[in-house]
Amino acid sequence: MKAVILAGGAGTRLRPLTNNLPKPMVPILNRPFLEHMLDSLAAHNVTDVIITVSYLSDNIRNHFGDNGYANMNIHYVLEESPLGTAGAVKNVEKLLDDTFLVLNGDIFTNLDISKMLLFHNDADSKATLFLKEVSDPSQFGVVEIKGDGYIEKFIEKPNPGETKSNWINGGVYILEPDILQIAPENEFYMFERGLFPTLLETQIPMYGYRNNPYWIDLGTPSNYLRVNHDILNAVDESMIVENRDILNTEGYFAHPSAVIEGPVIVGRDCFIGAGSVIRGPTVIGSGVTIGEDNVISGSVLWDGVKLGHQVILTECILADDVTVDDKVRIGNLCMVASGMNVTADLQPGISLGPTG
């Protein structure tokens, strides 16, 4: 089966982390998210992956190259200007000749795609959407379905009481190529507000595949931290099995008086100075230098970060090559852009990048 990955968005909610890295490439436990996604597709008999790119497209192409990945062929299709989620798939229509998969390039899930495909075939569906149950659907695209999963209605971000359904669009679809005929060529077009409602009006059979695997949209700072924490904490046994190799720590040097507590992953060639405490769940990238008497908890540090002495990091995200001066405190959900030097405390929720 072929899979189309939507990887062209600008990832604005993760700025300034995405200033020079497209969102699908942000590291989850020290590996680009797209590698995790491709590994999981390879396990479900996907043979060809079409990555639709636009924002910072070279970064993705340069990383994976032109020789495929995990025995899958990779094709890159560039949009000069973003075409939207359904427009991006319409744009690769000529590469699609059979039932295919579409995935948002920012959803971390261990959904069983093979079972979803069986459901799609059994239902004789033209478009099957993976639906995830949430307690508060008010910020999501909600889908109303019949008992057998037949889709009756889409409601974007419903007001309280507007729907009884708690099933949201999980950003993974199995589609038949002929449904793309109704999509406009070379126009910005979305699944949620364009293609799916139009299919509904024309009574093309669409089904919701209801399932509750691990699922998270990593596109906000809190969710980005959470997915790293969840994998380290192994909230779901199948995640830890699939990701066991990445939980091994690589070679690093820690002073004997340094303390590492709880689930922590440390990349290659790191140095952890005397008296520093690292509390999990925390991710330390490669080539990171941590001075003396620092306290780091619940944070994600990308490669090449350099911390002075007596620095306190709490649930924050530091991108590649950030340096932090002595005694600086960086609080919850702060994000610091690649290459920045942090000279003063950052209060919770404050981001630091070249544009402020």
Among 30, 40, 57, 85, binds ligand GTP (CB under 6 A): 85
- Give min distance, CB of 14 to ligand GTP, in A: 6
Among 30, 40, 52, 276, binds ligand GTP (CB under 6 A): 52
**Which DSSP category does 195 fall into?**
I
- Residue 106 or 230 with smaller CB distance to ligand GTP: 106
- The CB density around residue 189, as the number of other CB atoms within 10 Å, is 21
Which of the residues 199 through 238 are near ligand GTP (CB under 6 A)?
219
Q: Does 9 bind ligand GTP (CB under 6 A)?
A: yes
Which of the residues 105 through 124 are near ligand GTP (CB under 6 A)?
105-106
Give the binding-site size for ligand GTP (rule: CB under 6 A): 22
Say if residues 338 and 21 touch (Cβ distance below 8 Å): yes
Q: What one-character-per-residue DSSP string does 149-171 give?
A: -BEEEEEESPPTTS-S--EEEEE
- The CB density around residue 122, as the number of other CB atoms within 10 Å, is 9
Among 2, 3, 8, 131, binds ligand GTP (CB under 6 A): 8
Alpha helices in 19-112 (DSSP H): 33-42, 57-64, 84-90
CA 264 to chain centre: 20
- The CB density around residue 259, as the number of other CB atoms within 10 Å, is 13
Among 6, 21, 102, 340, binds ligand GTP (CB under 6 A): 6
Give the count of alpha carbons within 13 A of 234, CB side only: 12
Q: Does 304 bind ligand GTP (CB under 6 A)?
A: no
- Give min distance, CB of 76 to ligand GTP, in A: 11
Among 2, 3, 7, 352, binds ligand GTP (CB under 6 A): 7
Q: What one-character-per-residue DSSP string does 309-344 give?
A: SS-EEES-EE-TT-EE-TT-EE-TT-EE-TT-EE-S
Q: From CA 106, how far away is CA 102, in angstroms rounded?
A: 12
Parallel, antiparallel or unpaired: strands 127-133 and 167-175:
antiparallel
User: Segment near ligand GTP (CB under 6 A), from 5-13, 153-161, 177-185, 193-201?
Assistant: 5-13
Q: Which candidate in 153, 157, 164, 306 is catalytic?
A: 157
Among 30, 40, 57, 104, binds ligand GTP (CB under 6 A): 104
Q: From CA 226, how far away is CA 230, in angstroms rounded?
A: 6
- Give min distance, CB of 81 to ligand GTP, in A: 8
Q: Does 23 bind ligand GTP (CB under 6 A)?
A: yes
Residue 306: active-site member: no
- The CB density around residue 263, as the number of other CB atoms within 10 Å, is 17
Q: Does 328 bind ligand GTP (CB under 6 A)?
A: no
- Give min distance, CB of 130 to ligand GTP, in A: 14
Q: Does 281 bind ligand GTP (CB under 6 A)?
A: no
Among 13, 31, 193, 268, binds ligand GTP (CB under 6 A): 13
Say if residues 104 and 171 touch (Cβ distance below 8 Å): yes
Kindly give the interhelix angle for 57-64 and 33-42, rounded to the nearest 10 degrees. 50
Write out the catalytic residue numbers: 157
Q: By the criterion CB under 6 A, which residues form the site for ligand GTP?
A: 6-13, 23-24, 52, 54, 79, 82-85, 88, 104-106, 219
